[in-house]
Structures are given as structure tokens and as C-alpha cells.
Amino acid sequence: MAKVCQITGKRTQVGNNVSHANNKTKRKFFPNLKTKKFFLESEGVWVSLKVSTSALRTINKKGLEATLVDAARKGTLAL
């Protein structure tokens, strides 16, 4: 699976390693993703999501239901 957060849409970014001699080589910046299971109370089922740690904080703050609705509206949610 791709390294993409299902809530925020964060994905791998590309940049450069820059040495002391100012040589540049390509590198990747990976998002801090965790696979986490959440209990969706309205449906009564467990949902497994690949989320970034910042998305975990958003879920804790707003709740799972509201966060899923926002992610579906943005188009980042892929269940």
C-alpha cells in the first residue's frame, strides 16, 4: 500500500540531502504513519485506518465520526 494518510492525505515528499560540500542527492521524507483500529459506534464495527500521528490528534479532538465526514468531503478517505 502507498504511504498516504487516509484522513489528511499526507504523502511522501521529495527533497535533497545536502552535504557540507553542497553536493545534492535525492531523498524522501516519509510521513509518520500508523495503522490503527478505531471503533465506529454508529455502525458498531471496527475500522482499520492508516493515519498520520497528526490525524490521530485530530481524531482525539473532533471525534472519529466528524473526522471521517471531513475526510470524505475532502476526498482523502479511501476505505
**How much is the pLDDT for 78?**
66
pTM score: 0.83
CB 6 within 8 A of CB 76: yes
Mean pLDDT of 65-72: 93
Q: Is residue 44 part of a domain?
A: yes
CB 36 within 8 A of CB 51: yes
Across the chain, what does the average pLDDT equal?
93
For the chain, the domain total comes to 1
Q: Is the pLDDT of residue 21 over 80?
A: yes
Q: Is residue 55 part of a domain?
A: yes
**And the C-alpha cell for 46?**
471496527
Helices (H), 1-79: 53-62, 64-74
Q: Is residue 68 part of a domain?
A: yes
Q: Is residue 37 part of a domain?
A: yes
- Which domain CATH number covers 29? 2.30.170.40
Q: Is residue 17 part of a domain?
A: yes
**How much is the pLDDT for 1?**
59
Give pLDDT tens digits for 23-49: 999 999 999 999 999 999 999 999 999
